[in-house]
Chain A
Amino acid sequence: MQKIEAIIKPFKLDEVKAALAGIGIQGMTVSEVKGFGRQKGQTEIYRGSEYTVDFLPKIKLEIVVEDKLVDQAVEVIQQTAHTGKIGDGKIFISPITKAMRIRTKETGEAAV
């Protein structure tokens, strides 16, 4: 069981979601986040004067999947979230030690 965290461009969410559903991933958690990487911030305009926004809006998508699906899921996310421009985001993978479904108390892979 591993957790995949992907930071992606907001307008890519629908595409990524559909692609993940296509390989049989049934649930995900999505949050609206702000951050910056190499892209830095951007310049916006308010009443004629420029100001810099240091943090840009992104979507953080978290899914926990069984080990055999991890590579496929990561590839799908990379392909669908890709625009080739700076600011496409990142994917992080980390192991999950334990999981439980609250309703049924199932644990392990049955819970995800």
Chain B
Amino acid sequence: MNTMKRFIEKIKDHGERKYFLALLGGKLLGVGLSFLVVWAVCTYFGNSSPKAHADEAPAKMEGMKMEAAPAAPAATPGATAAPAAPAPDVPNPPYVNPMNTMWVLIAAFLVFFMQAGFMFLEAGFARTRETVNVLLEGVVDTCLCGILFWAFGFAWMFGHGNGFIGWGDGNGHTWYFLHNLPATYESTGIAIYAYVLFQFAFADCASTITSGAMLGRTGFWGDLFYSFGVSGFLYPIFGHWAWGPDGWLNTIKPAAFHDFAGSTVVHTIGGMIALAGAIVLGPRLGRKFKRDGGGAMPGHNMTIAAVGTIILWFGWYGFNPGSTLSIMDTAGCARVAINTTFAACAGALTAMFYVFPRSKKWDCGMTMNGLLAGLVAITCPCYWVSPFGSLCIGAIAGVVVVWGTDLLEYLRIDDPCGAWPVHGLNGIWGTISLGLFATGEYGMPTPTGADNSAGSVVTGLFYGGGTAQLVAQVIGNMAIGVGVLIAGFALMYIVKATGTLRVSKEGEQEGLDIHEHGGEAYPETVTSKLN
């Protein structure tokens, strides 16, 4: 009431009235301009929903229902032994397969939840004073990655183009801003947005892995800049080499490079950029290395680090089995899930027993990293190996992660979470292990079942397949690993040149939480008061 009275008093005054009208005019102008912008954007972008085949989809679905139903039972028992040949009269997609789309969506949600695991793990391995920084980095990374994937990441990674980068459907339509997308991705039968979401969750993992090696001393502007580079450029472009519809690694002879769920694409890329970041940044202040009479700075909360590890394991059930993109290949999905489990078990136990003789203590941190190492390693070969093979792969991963940690310590490289030993090194090991352990029984998942025909099976050295697959794996992994390491160094040095990569000495001593974010993760309420 009082406000109203004051307003009426004021409006009677000539000067005030002029001021008020000017203000009103300005606001209206602003609103008008906003509408103009909205209109311009709408006109430019138009209707970006998948429309290319929207009209045909229902008709084909009708036909599909008849054929898909008998195809499913045929695929289930026969998937491992006999190849379930794709029925000849299955119409060429696009039709949206509801089962497979649901499967991919669930997997996408699981992979997305791995972000919680990463944030827990990294926060637990950080010190109290940089916890807010780690958590915010995890959140912002995800959001930034989403925007970039929409704008151009998806087009570059999964679009048709050349062997090194993609951009569209191959007929002159670009996929930037998710324009011109078909109803389903390629011949997968997966609704396109489900596929985009699934791949966005993968991309998000890559940039979060990077942050694990760089925590405790990276300024937040630096975080934003390198995240932009990793999820916007490095991951989509190098990922296209292996996963793009026309990536050059798919065409190498005599055997094509295989990376089922991303030991190379997600983990080697993330781990190698992490290594570049850790080297360019230098160690945290006060970090002494083993040969200088020091050791790792302990993380501040093992409880959340351990819980984070298990959340990651849980999320991996979306990461690996979801990468079949087809629940119709039931045997394949189940095999991938069990292989994922066994590799994690073996990795954790070997790492634990391998470091036990050093200190005669059961080391929690290294056991968790061993578990993750097993998961990273099985990510590439999970579809093509037997459970016994996955145990072997995981067991070796558990040793590799310890060696990697020792090597970094010796080289005086400060990697607070062990991102390089876990993701970089075991990404390499996992990719190569396919060339050794692939059993030669399994080919590729298809939208209607497994294609285990002679032409598509993958056979490793230990199962009489010769070295062809091994060579392909080494070539593919080295091409991406070395390429992304060089690109990672370039990115980090560019960010360093802006002066934002590392915080000031004072800022680091004060702690990133206070210095960059103005508050602590664990403020004492007794000695502070809210205004």
Residues of chain A touching chain B, judged by Cβ–Cβ distance below 8 Å, are 9, 11, 14, 34, 41-46, 49-55
Q: Is the CB of B509 within 8 A of A11?
A: yes
**Bound-complex Cα distance A34 to B518 (A):** 18
CB pair A53–B518 under 8 Å, yes or no, is no
Given known A11-B509, A14-B286, contact A52–B519 (CB-CB < 8 A): no
User: Which residues of A have CB within 8 Å of B529?
Assistant: 51-52, 54
Which stretch from B60-68, B408-416, B520-528 is at the chain A interface? B520-528
CB distance from B444 to the nearest CB of A (A): 50
Question: Which of A14, A44, A49 is the one whose CB lies under 8 Å from B528?
Answer: A44
Please measure, in the bound complex, the distance between the C-alpha atom of A45 and the C-alpha atom of B523, giving whole angstroms. 11
With A11-B509, A14-B286: A44-B514 Cβ-Cβ less than 8 Å: yes
B531 contacts A49, CB within 8 Å?
A: yes
Main secondary structure of the interface of B (DSSP, over half): loop
Q: Given A11-B509, A14-B286, A44-B514, are A54 and B527 neighbors across the interface (CB < 8 Å)?
A: yes
A51 touches B286 (CB 8 A): no
Q: How far is the CA of A57 from the CA of B514 in the complex (A)?
A: 12
- Docked-complex contact A34 and B509, CB < 8 angstroms: no
Question: Bound state CA distance, A15 and B527, in angstroms?
Answer: 27
Neighbouring A residues of B517 by C-beta, 8 Å: 45
The listed residue (B509, B510, B528) touching A53 by CB distance below 8 A is: B528
Please, which residue of chain A has its CB at the minimum distance from the CB of B531?
Answer: A51
Is B69 part of the binding interface, using a Cβ–Cβ cutoff of 8 Å?
A: no
Which range holds the interface residue count of chain B? 10 to 19
Q: Are B519 and A44 in contact, with the CB atoms below 8 A? A: yes
Cβ 8 A contact of B523, one of A9, A41, A49, A53 = A53
Does A51 contact B509, Cβ atoms closer than 8 Å? no
Q: Provide the bound-state CA to CA distance between A34 and B510, in Å.
A: 15
For A34, list chain B residues within 8 Å (CB).
524, 527
Whether B518 contacts A54 by the Cβ 8 Å rule is no
Residues on the A chain within 8 Å of B514, using CB: 42, 44
Cβ of B530 within 8 Å of any chain A Cβ, yes or no, is yes
Q: CB-CB < 8 A to A43: which residues of B?
A: 518
Q: What's the nearest-Cβ distance from chain A to residue B524, in Å?
A: 7
- Cβ contact of B530, chosen from A9, A14, A42, A51, cutoff 8 A: A51
Q: Bound state CA distance, A52 and B529, in angstroms?
A: 7
Least Cβ distance of A12 to chain B in Å? Answer: 9
CB–CB A44/B527 < 8 A: no
Q: Judge whether B523 and A50 touch: CB under 8 Å.
A: no
- Chain B CB within 10 Å, residue with most, of A44, A49, A52, A54: A44
CB closest chain-B residue, reference A9: B509
Report if A52-B531 is in contact (Cβ < 8 Å); known contacts: A44-B514, A45-B519, A46-B519: yes
- For residue B518, which residues in chain A have a CB less than 8 angstroms away from its CB? 43-45, 50
How far, in angstroms, from A42 to B528 measured CA to CA in the complex?
A: 10
A1 to B524, CA, bound (A): 36
CA distance A4 to B517 in the complex (A): 36
Residue of B nearest to A41 (CB): B528
